[in-house]
A and B are shown apart, each in its own frame.
Chain A
Amino acid sequence: MAASSRAQVLRLYRALLRESQRFSSYNYRTYAIRRIRDAFRENKNIADSEKIEELLNKAKANLEVIQRQGTIDHMYATEKLIIERPGNT
């Protein structure tokens, strides 16, 4: 992988995780973080530049979804789940 591409992947990875933290819903937040980590881990050995390009585009589209949906989720936040209370986890 070219150095610039590697930096681009890492930047996108960090942006996805950061934006996922904005989900107020426990289940959406934990899912987004878990799914992003697992997807990047699963694809870390891909060398084909075309495939990398395709995955990067997919990740960029998903980043936009997460940004929009994170905002909406935040606007309609609910009470925390019972397991999010200290002493319950």
Chain B
Amino acid sequence: MLLWRRLAALRGERTPRRLRAGGPGPGPGPGRKSDGGGAPRPLYMDVQATTPLDPRVLDSMLPYLTAYYGNPHSRTHAYGWESEAAMEKARQQVADLIGADSREIIFTSGATESNNMAIKGVARFYKSRKKHIITTQTEHKCVLDSCRSLETEGFHITYLPVKKSGLIDLKELEAAFQPDTSLVSVMTVNNEIGVKQPIHDIGEICRAHKVFFHTDAAQAIGKIPMDVNNMKIDLMSISGHKIYGPKGVGALYVRRRPRVRLEPLQSGGGQERGLRSGTVPTPLAVGLGAACEVAQQEMEYDHKRISQLAERLVTKIMSEVPDVVMNGDQEHRYPGCINLSFAYVEGESLLMALKDVALSSGSACTSASLEPSYVLRAIGADEDLAHSSIRFGIGRFTTEEEVDYTVQKCIQHVKRLREMSPLWEMVQDGIDLKSIKWTQH
């Protein structure tokens, strides 16, 4: 328990620093120039939380934040028409990236809204005949939470377990179908461990059972090829800020043939075919479209480079430090998301030691909590390994130098923390930690 108290004290120190970082502090102000006198900024290695905006994307957005401010739904004047044209071009760009028709793309505020809309929307529309939904234990919080809220409305939810690799067992999926199943929701790439579910196979199974298939592809689109027809996807959630686009925008793909029907979450002016009332934010939609187009052009180049950098990071750490476990399947994964557990090191302490590098132990949404990640628990990681995990995110703008710096600091601090650790000392003396009976306090 002492460890926890010490940790709590450390966190107490940490909070004000975080608050300062959120304030104006060394941050930007209009026309502010760097004089090199302030504290240097840490490296950014947390691209699963959010990505920097690509300058090409900002360039496409700026005219719609300045000169072209018309409401895209105004039909009576040129201001409206030019915004509408830009919005429709963006819709086409999003559709092209996933092999869809532009009429199947609904703009939303982000993947959380898209997930809510897809899951609650389908469930509620078909509720008179169908009351069952299948999802997995490793989904993003917003999927799980949407399902929880549906449970209070009388729906039954099956939360499929995952194998040690983080992948679902297709036989278990087959067995989970019920006559009244309306929807299966499985994410494409996991945000914490980077594993890639067999979307193609899941799509086939769902189509065979005539059940709609939704996938949260926020971490996948623009990074790996996705095709809604080839993969038999009926609904797909897309996020702008995970693909070098702006925050506050996303999209939901909704299949037209066979038609998927949804009950809208929001009531209002009937924009977006009545599924998502509210004025579409033209600059954000334009940014999402541009981000999709850039991602499509750069996918091969980015993927090759990110794979090389990931390989460099993993090889260097593994060759210098023993007892490092890579979480999730080795093969079916997106290479830019690397989740490593450093045995006998407390993940939060390591994160604090690595203050020069922006890293996370898992999802940003739960990074305020000391609980180990539910994703790592679902893949059967031991409690101690789940507590010692760090997620390294490599993206379009990551450099070799950043990887090398991160690796060097990581190795240095893991070694230092282990030298301080009584557990590590006991392991070196050949004591099996599992055999120890810890007294309860």
CB distance from A38 to the nearest CB of B (A): 7
Chain A residues lying within 8 Å of B44, measured Cβ to Cβ, are 27
Q: Is the CB of B40 within 8 A of A24?
A: no
Residue-by-residue, is B28-55 near A (CB-CB < 8 Å gives 1, otherwise 0)? 1011111010111111100000001001
Q: Is the CB of B40 within 8 A of A75?
A: no
Q: Is the CB of B405 within 8 A of A82?
A: yes
Q: Which of A23, A24, A38 contacts B301 (CB 8 A)?
A: A38
Q: Is the CB of B40 within 8 A of A79?
A: yes
A2 at interface by CB-CB < 8 Å: no
Q: Which residues of A71-89 are within 8 A (CB) of B?
A: 72-73, 75-85, 88-89
Chain A residues lying within 8 Å of B52, measured Cβ to Cβ, are 27-28
Q: Which of B26, B28, B33, B397 contacts A27 (CB 8 A)?
A: B397
Known: A28-B397, A89-B401. A79 touches B59 (CB 8 A): no
Main secondary structure of the interface of B (DSSP, over half): loop
Q: Is the CB of A78 within 8 A of B399?
A: no
A69 at interface by CB-CB < 8 Å: yes
A66 at interface by CB-CB < 8 Å: yes
Known: A28-B55, A66-B55. A79 touches B39 (CB 8 A): yes
Q: Which of A35, A78, A80, A85 contacts B28 (CB 8 A)?
A: A78
Chain B residues lying within 8 Å of A75, measured Cβ to Cβ, are 30-31
Q: Which residues of B48-83 are within 8 A (CB) of A?
A: 52, 55-56, 58-59
Expressed in whole angstroms, the Cα–Cα distance for A38 and B300 within the complex equals 13
A30 at interface by CB-CB < 8 Å: yes
Residues of A near any B CB (own CB < 8 A):
23-24, 26-28, 30-32, 35, 38, 62, 65-66, 68-69, 72-73, 75-85, 88-89
User: What are 21 A-to-B residue pairs whose CB atoms are below 8 Å?
Assistant: A23-B55, A26-B399, A27-B52, A28-B55, A28-B397, A30-B397, A30-B399, A62-B56, A75-B30, A77-B33, A77-B34, A79-B26, A79-B38, A79-B41, A81-B41, A81-B43, A82-B43, A82-B356, A82-B405, A83-B43, A84-B40
